[in-house]
Amino acid sequence: MSILLQALTPVILEVTATVATVAITAASGYAMRKWGIEIQEKHRNALHSALMSGIEAALGRGFTGDAAVADAIEHARRSVPDALKNLKPAADVLTNLAKAKLEQATKVPAGDALAEALKQAGAK
């Protein structure tokens, strides 16, 4: 029995090492996908938040239109450089995001628009 065990030991060790290597590789791939997605989501949220803050600040300073968009983009460049470095958005994508935030910030909620219209109709 001892001779058989001595003969099989290298084979058992080789199989065990192979299985362990495959398991570790699969686990590390899963972890990188999961954490990589979470990190990208964190950067995306930070960028969107910075653009909205930039738009709100620009509007507060009296900027409108393209000036507000440019100011918001500059605000994002200063406040979340890591997010921009990680996401690498093209200039037109960043501009479109800032324009969407401007539209979102200046949009009158539907309930308020209806109340204003009813108020004006009643005043006439």
In a domain, 69, yes or no: yes
In a domain, 71, yes or no: yes
Mean pLDDT of the 37-49 span: 88
- Of residues 7 and 68, which shows the higher confidence score? 68
Task: Classify 10 as helix, strand or coil.
Answer: helix
Q: What DSSP designation does 61 have?
A: T
Q: What DSSP designation does 90 have?
A: -
Whether residue 25 contacts residue 75, with contact meaning beta carbons closer than 8 Å, is answered with no
Whether residue 95 contacts residue 73, with contact meaning beta carbons closer than 8 Å, is answered with yes
This model's pTM is above 0.75 = no
pLDDT band at 22 (very low <50, low <70, confident <90, very high): confident
Q: How many CA atoms lie within 13 A of 30 on its CB side?
A: 6
| Domain span at 63 | 2-107
In a domain, 113, yes or no: no
Number of domains observed in the structure of the chain: 1
Q: How many CA atoms lie within 13 A of 112 on its CB side?
A: 4
- The pLDDT value recorded for residue 113 is 58
The residue type of 124 is: K
Chain segment 51-63, per-residue pLDDT in tens: 999 999 999 999 9
Distance CA 76, CA 99 (A): 13
In a domain, 116, yes or no: no
